[in-house]
Amino acid sequence: MNRRILAAVTGLALALSVTACGTDDDATGDGGTQKVKVGYIAGPAPGMHLLLAKERGYFAEAGLDVETVPFQTGISLSNALTGGSVDVGVMGAVIANFPARGQGKVFLLNNLEANIQQIWAAPDSGINSIADLRGKKVATTTGTAAHLLLHVALAENGMTTDDIELVNLDMPAVANTFVTGGVPAAALWAPFDNQIKERLPQARMIGTAEQFQPKSAITGGWVANNKFHAENRDALVKIAQAWLKANDDIVTDQAGALAAGCPSLSEFMTTEVCTQIYQQARSYPNAEWATYYADGTVADWVGRMEQVFVDIGALPAFVDPDQFLDTTVFTDANK
């Protein structure tokens, strides 16, 4: 099973041959439904609410005709969003990067990716904790959520990336280099941990995002391009209404929700892998989300991610999340 998992994941870049193409602005479908093109990262943590809402007809019930387009990276999706090839993008931690540059408005979060990002140490490496990473080679993909976790974990132990030897590789290479002995430590995300468990079973997981929360509050969400946000706010509220139904399904019957939503990712991974990854995220009931939007928790999570992007040099300066986070869409949908 794990070999099939690895083959599915490492082949993702080849499988994701679909790229954004042009769409008619403000198009209306049959029966007066509004067409919305939504790009998404083809993974369960960012994509499950979108895929489940589409599968169970929640968008149609809200009067929306949603076309979904998978992307390989948050960078490519953000570029398509900025260029207007998609109206809305569903992505991971990059929601705190490009929108902070003025490229889109965040209007929904999905979950906390509590144990999806992980830091591993090789057996016989002498690394038993984050503190032991000092002076050691650590492989990751810079500018990603795994890098965010590594940055926070080091900071919590009085270090920065200057105190380690950072090795920047794409994520399949991070996992392969680690299990073949090229580096003694790696920061990665699920399901690449399956490769470690199969090929290097004595390796130790020494950190996850959940251990360092709230400082490592890694979350993904929904971003509308600026034009669509300005001209189609009613559609965003309808999207959020469909999201609320999907989220309620996920919270009250996660097994049933994943069984319904995961097959939409069959081109990229098995239902088993999809389920495994999503179970490493943390979901919240709608009422709890309402509190988080109202009390500033959502803005705090986004701001924490943004600050790490600034710290690692991926953003030039910190921008108050209020400038690119619209919490009123969720609030209006939840009334």
pLDDT of residue 29: 52
Q: Tell me: pLDDT of 30 over 80.
A: no
Other CB atoms within a 10 A radius of the CB of residue 17 amount to: 9
Reported as a pLDDT band with limits 50, 70 and 90, residue 27 is low
pLDDT of residue 28: 55
Chain centroid, CA 57 distance in Å: 23
pLDDT of residue 17: 36
pLDDT of residue 216: 82
Give 136's DSSP letter. Answer: S
Average pLDDT over residues 301-311: 95
Q: What is the pTM of this model?
A: 0.86
Q: Are 40 and 91 in contact (CB under 8 A)?
A: yes
pLDDT of residue 5: 40
Q: Which residue has the tokens 């929108």?
A: 99
Reported as a pLDDT band with limits 50, 70 and 90, residue 9 is very low
Q: Tell me: pLDDT of 41 over 60.
A: yes
Q: Are 18 and 192 in contact (CB under 8 A)?
A: no
Q: Tell me: pLDDT of 70 over 70.
A: yes
Q: Mean pLDDT of all residues in the chain?
A: 91
For the chain, percent of residues with pLDDT exceeding 90: 84
Reported as a pLDDT band with limits 50, 70 and 90, residue 165 is very high
Give per-residue pLDDT as tens, 236-279. Answer: 999 999 999 999 999 999 999 999 999 999 999 999 999 999 99
Kindly state the helix (H) or strand (E) to which residue 82 belongs, with its residue range: helix 74-83
pLDDT of residue 75: 86
Tokens linked to 10: 């490492």
Reported as a pLDDT band with limits 50, 70 and 90, residue 214 is confident
Average pLDDT over residues 46-53: 98
pLDDT of residue 4: 39
DSSP strand E in the chain: where? 34-41, 64-71, 88-91, 105-112, 117-121, 137-140, 165-168, 185-189, 204-208, 219-224
Q: Which residue has the tokens 């389920």?
A: 275
pLDDT of residue 84: 96
Reported as a pLDDT band with limits 50, 70 and 90, residue 114 is confident
Other CB atoms within a 10 A radius of the CB of residue 51 amount to: 23
